[in-house]
Structure 1
Amino acid sequence: MTKAKTILRRDFLLGAGSLSALTLAGCTTTAPTQPNPSLPQFDPFYVDMYGPIYSEPYPIPAVDLRYVDPAYYRRVVDYPTTERPGTIVVDTAQRYLYLVRDGGQAMRYGVGIGREGFSWSGGGYINHKKRWPTWTPPSEMIAREPELEKWRNGQPPGIDNPLGARALYIFEDGRDTLYRLHGTPEPWTIGKAVSSGCVRLMNQDVIDLYDRVAPGSPIRVI
C-alpha cells in the first residue's frame, strides 16, 4: 500500500471514529433517563403534597420521603367519634393527630411526640397561632441543655427554628400549658418520641393544619 493510500485510510478511520463518538454522545443526551431501580418510586400525589414551598418568607424544602413512613402521610380517614367537628385529637400511642370533620371522618396527620418522661396528656384549646414563630426554650430545658443558653431570649424564625413554619399554642383553663403543635425541620422524626413534650408535624402538614384550625378550637391529647 502506498504512503498516500495509508494516510487516506488513517484519516477515514479517524473520521469514522469521531462520527461514532458524536452519535453516541447524541444518544446519551437525548435518550430518556431510565429510573434507578435502587431508588423507591413514590406516588406523585404525595410527592406534590410534600414538595418544596417557595411562597413562604423562608423557602421550605421538599420532604425526603425516603425517611418518612407512608403511614404518616396526611390523608382523610374514617374516624367515628363523639367529638364535635373542629376538635383536634392527638393519639400519642399511634403517633397521629386527627382533625375531626363531619360525617364520621377526620383529616389525619403523622406526628412526633414527647420522649418518655416528657409526654403530656389532657384537654385544652388552641388559644392562638403564629406563622414562623420565635422559639424560646423554657429555663428547665436550658438547665438540661446548657448549649441552648444563647436562645434564652428567643431563637428568631427560620427554616432551622425548632417550631418550624407554624405553631398553635395550647392553653388550659386560661393558662399556657407551654405545649405546642408545631412544624419541624426534621421530618424523619415523625412517628417517633423525640421532642420535649410538644407535638411536631412536617412543615407542609402544619401549614395545612394551621389553615384549617381557628383559635378556640378544642384539643384532646390521649
Structure 2
Amino acid sequence: MRGKGILIAVAIAATAIVSGCSTTGGTAFVNAYGAKNDSGYALPKIPVSKIDRQFRRQVVSYETKQRPGTIIIDTSAKHLHLVLGDGKAMRYGIGVGREGFLWKGTAKVGWKREWPTWTPPEPMIRREPDLAKYRGGMKPGLNNPLGARALYLMRNGRDTGYRLHGTPEWWSIGGNVSSGCIRLMNQDIIDLYERVKPGAKVIVT
C-alpha cells in the first residue's frame, strides 16, 4: 500500500508540472508581489488574489522562432512574453492603449531607467491641460505614471515615444488604459528590467 501511495503522489506531481507549463497557465511566481524596498522607495504589496491568474507573472510554453531575449506583446490578450528559449517564455500581464492609441510594429529597447522622470508629451498636455505643470518633468516616486522602471522604445534610431513601464495602478492590468505605452505592475517591470538588455527586439501585435 505504501508503494502504491508513492506512485500516486509521483503521478500527481508530474501532472502538476505538465499543467504548470501550458500555454494557458504557467508556473506562477506566487510570492512575487510582496512589499519591498527598492532604491529607497517602499513599494506596497499588491493584493495578488484580486488579479486574474492569467495576468500574474509566470513561465509558460511558448513556441516562436524569435531568439531568447525578444519581447513579444499581444495587445489583444494583454500579455507580454519575454522569450526564454527551449519553448518557454516569461509571461506578464499588461495594460495597453485605449481605443485610438493602440499601435503595432517592431521596435527595440533603446535605453532603460530606474525610477524614471515622467514628462508628458505636448499632445497629452493639449488633451489634459492640468498636466502642463509637469512639462519640465515629474519627479520619480510611487505616484509617478512610469512607476519603478521604464524601457524606452526606439525605431530607426529615433525615440518612438512609447515605453514599457511600471504602474502603481495594479488594478488597471488587463485593460485598455494608456495612451499607447505598455504598463506592467511595478514588481513585474522590475523583474523584466533585470532580464532585458538595451537593443532587445520588441514586437507588438
Q: Same fold (TM over 0.5)?
A: yes
Picking from 67, 89, 96, the partner of 2:50 is: 67
Partner of 2:109: 126
- Partners of 2:156 and 2:144 in 1: how far apart? 28
Picking from 98, 121, 128, the partner of 2:81 is: 98
Larger radius of gyration: 1
Picking from 90, 107, 113, the partner of 1:107 is: 90
- Partners of 2:55 and 2:40 in 1: how far apart? 26
- Partners of 2:50 and 2:198 in 1: how far apart? 32
| Alpha-carbon displacement from aligned partner over 1:3-40 (angstroms, at most 9, x marks no partner) | xxxxxxxxxxxxxxxxxxxxxxxxxxxxxxxxxxxxxx
Mapped pair 1:49 → 2:49: no
Task: Please report the TM-score for the alignment, with normalisation by the length of structure 2.
Answer: 0.85
Cα RMSD after superposing both structures: 1.2
- Partners of 2:101 and 2:107 in 1: how far apart? 18
Structure (1 or 2) with the greater helix fraction = 1
Q: CA deviation at 1:102?
A: 1.3
- SS of equivalent residue, structure 1 residue 86: coil
- Partners of 2:180 and 2:197 in 1: how far apart? 22
- Aligned-partner residue type, residue 145 of structure 1: E
Structure (1 or 2) with the greater strand fraction = 2
Task: Please report the TM-score for the alignment, with normalisation by the length of structure 1.
Answer: 0.78
Structure 2 runs not aligned, ≥5 long: 1-27
Partner of 2:199: 216
Contact 1:67 1:187 in 2 (8 A): no
Partner of 1:149: 132
| Alpha-carbon displacement from aligned partner over 1:124-154 (angstroms, at most 9, x marks no partner) | 1000000000000000000000110110110
Q: CA deviation at 1:69?
A: 1.2
Contact 2:29 2:57 in 1 (8 A): no
- SS of equivalent residue, structure 2 residue 171: helix
Structure 1 runs not aligned, ≥5 long: 1-43
